[in-house]
Structure 1
């Protein structure tokens, strides 16, 4: 029972601060408002930078420097107020901010990585570091960090490490000596390979590799293996170097084994085939530096290679080759693999499939290394990919090609859990996309029915098409079909889960500076918010084409393919420019959002990787801190004069005004409804007093429920004597923290309702009841069902419910708070009559229809 009590105390926010003290509520609220205002300004700057750096026009570097300077200062100010609000509880956030800030400044001011950096984690590699980590590593890191595709974790051993290895083993003179050697003189190159394989790893490099290996152990487990792969300076860049350098697969997670594999890859610079290839391309032998990638080895069930352009040059076709086990037999041309032809459409279309013999397969050995084995008859005779897997590969292939703006040669694998990993992506030379014009849709205005025109606020320009998916509440995201057009009442940062697969987004409510808006710019998803009634205009499942340009938004009935062919191609030449791409990459450290769900373990300072993450963390924890502080009812009443609210229902609420919440004279002990100035409190109490929702007659308890409530009473009231006899509302003109006990259950409502939708939030928490667990859970299910319809994200554990909603404009929020007031009144004694599961749907439906009879 003690553990249960501690959990309830934790959820209700009654645990005392570690420092044993607490700020006065006015000081808490002042710090809270400062955090909100700074965060809001920071997001406005991020939105502006996202629009300019993600748009299709040139911009001045001085703009980026000025905008980032203001952004960094604003986040720093927010951090100072956040420290005061949280009593320095999250000082680690300063280290995170400092790290992100240094990464951004390095990009903006063209500061190269610290000379001598030996090892870089993939998560720290930016696209323009290809000279340091090689083309292959740079592309993998970009797909992981920017595109958020599933890439095996790992690290790169840099070209600086290569230089140190050469210096440590005195190889400079030998390298210079072979500059003019004949590629046919293998004796010289064989000697060089031997010197490298017998060379000594420099102490600093050994330490760096040891640290990286230990990080892999801590992050991915001690039983994983590595693939140690070449990533030379020029590899997978202007020339592919395909198959010219060594790859060592399934290397044990042992420092010596990794270093031996590393040396083997370095030595492959001087393999006969590699030497001939370099000479054939005009490279001077010995000039190319080798970086090396060390990736988690995927225990592949099936793998292969795909081209985003057909061999005949058809750019509308994706060609996929696959086999069982590892894909090395395919890249080496040693197996009759399966082949699939897929047409690039909004929803990819399988054009044809050919099943190969697949007589042999390569698999990982348990003790390290790989082996070739005969494929079992039952596997050899069936396709290695399902239709669903083929479609997923095609979608990701198009996504990668669209990002890199060139046809791609992609290696991939599915593991035993069915997860798709991208192992490599490099340009298919000679198949570059051609330029095309921008979106032109004027000629379709009359020929095609227009469903929506010039509504809402543009977040991201572009065009998309697909079937409409009307999202009624967040839980339905798991059912979202890839390639659909998302239509939702509210915007939500949780959309990041499906954003790579969304054709376009339209919301009824929203602002261009929200977390979701930043994500849409990052993923370049055509998006319009605050459209008003999109969820009523569009039907679930209907096909539409969305075009968002300088003139606003136009939504056509059906799929208009002509509008999609040229989408985004007008910016092709722009994105090829080095300066453009580098500046835009700054957004990776600014606008990308990794922290989405506050209930997840990664929602911590350590989980913050961008400025957006830092802002998101501060916002969420600031709200939580305010909830806890404003719930100190008895303490606050001692500090401030409490005013009883004289309402038409016996809610028993006393209000503490911390600024602009009540219109009363000094010393007044009561306030009527008309004297409530607080926007959120006025809305909630108006809802409580709505005709029919407050049932004055007590609902009788059954004997079992009575004993259940008697048993629970000491637990729920322990250390909460300040709530006995009255309910507490801490208010200002725009803020409300309402702590209510009705009978044997407790409700906390914390909300901020202002003209700035970005700052607005509602936090709703409910726990307890007088009946048995089944009935209490049914009541929570009713509450959950109702508030989900208002757009809340909801967490339920037994008879505890926590709901969150944010980014709502004032008018919309007042309406929701009115409904919450009705809901709190309507459900006060409802658990007593919830005798079966059917009653949940009955009462939830009645409430939404405005029927409040119990």
Structure 2
């Protein structure tokens, strides 16, 4: 839009000052329209993500919601400026809706009072809010499915809250986290050490300590175990996000050590990597109470993870099993590359396997704790699972998947006696290449490295940057290809900034692999000869096919885009759908409805709809008020006998000084010219009935309520690219609003149509005719009684103007048409005839003119 300059230092004529006030209102109104369009586009983006296979993560949802909040706040302030204090309650109503959005987005709720400890046998997945997902799912597997899960109990969220409050820690934790810059690893480490020290110095309250000791003693009595694994199970862990490897687990804990190790698990909530993960996803720390699972220790001969579908190639019909000797910690932290088995889902038959040299394993110490030891030479190339064990594991994994209804990622351990135990299950996020990839000529590319395991498909390019420890992370540049000899704590803090990840050891089941998939970073783990790459060397990583090429090849990167495999049980999708339920539904449909009020705004979309409608009303009523109309308005001189009063919002008052009329050629508004051209094409019609005939066709409400018939004025408020017209033709009221800018994302045509002169059945037939015709033009139509609300958006400027011309023609074509619509057959005939005249359907040979 062009804003006309105002000369400074000169005394204004009254008309100039008044016009400037009107133009200022218009500028505010246009800013409201722009903000409204951005909100609708953002809602559309979220809807596409929710119902498609496009990649997204929690950060995308939060960022989009944050932008929507800012836009809606601006819309409300402009609405108050336009309409005054009557609209101030919008602030409070939006605050209430926004609180619902936040609750849906985080999925958190206040920690409720309850028991400090709960046996697994008493838990199910419905207790997630009390004990965290990891504990709740173990309880589900044990109590509902009867699968082999180690005996144990959960230490609840209420216990964590009690510990924090008893030691007055929350305020000090909040203060420490408020100042940290998550992009600077040294700061993360400093804050981490400070908070962990606070927790480790704080005593476990006596009543909580007694509850833990009692539950430990009960497990010892029931199962005979004397050693435990203490594992984190924070609220939202393995639910909204995986938090894979971010929190602490302590293995082989003696019964008398349980209290001290519990405190260490709580402190582990604040490692540098956990703080980064927490804050980078915009969680509030206080919402994520740390629950803990106290589980009978399994002395594992082998352990690993099973994926009920291949996370990278979910279409191939196989389970994927990763396995190592000993305890699973060296697999999960990426220290060891595992044996790999592919098992057919139908029949649990081994399809393929790959065995690696397994030189070491982690085992339980006799008293407490764990240690590494060499694997005997004769076992190093032996399979860590036999086919019988694979069959049992696969069968059990598929049973878990059937129970939950979605693919699962399951941790397991086989004890020294060959008994299989399930240690964890969580939904598996599936990523996949598209069904058909664009052809890329790779023949001229130099392959630098090949091999390893795809843990997240896709491709990325950039200069190589090598790191070996957390101390190197502060120097990691954006959009580099990160190369590391092995996974290590803190890698998660740079995943959002890099193009691709290469690690010399590790596999699909490592925490690093899970996080890479979560952040959608193309990654290869277990890649040999990684030391051959040098820092700064430009490369392209094709993680889908486990190749590293010399040089940067953006066309290859574009060809390897990946998609999400939608799943009803996907926690991230549940969050998005939950959030959209507070954002997107439109409940305020009809502006004429008495329930079209601030109090009845139930969603963000309702607020924007209300504000758009009322802003048009406020702009129109204030601009076309009779006093202002006489001073800044003009009348349109035309052969069409419609008394059209116009306010030109982008004309200098000097242009119109002394003028009370403008001609059709002087219309500078693009949408108004298009609309009026349509009216002129049809010309002013002869009414189907006149005199008494018309009176006999009028419905009783029209005869009683008509005010002045055709003598009523019509009004238009115009900008160069904007118009809102209130058209009164007989007993029909039509409002048409349109924006026709060069940017399609801003453009729209809205029409509201109501009342009429005939009986209700004939008015309804006319409404059906108009709706059918507008539907062919892409309008979305909502009707209530004999009122119609139609809109079409996201059109090119040319398409907007074309539709406005057709609307102008349609207004004249249907003027008093309801008088003639005595039955449905006549209505259908007129509908087809009008569509032929408007060029919306090809004429049949019988109706073509010579």
TM-score scaled to structure 1, two decimals? 0.44
TM-score scaled to structure 2, two decimals? 0.44
In terms of Rg, which structure is larger? 2
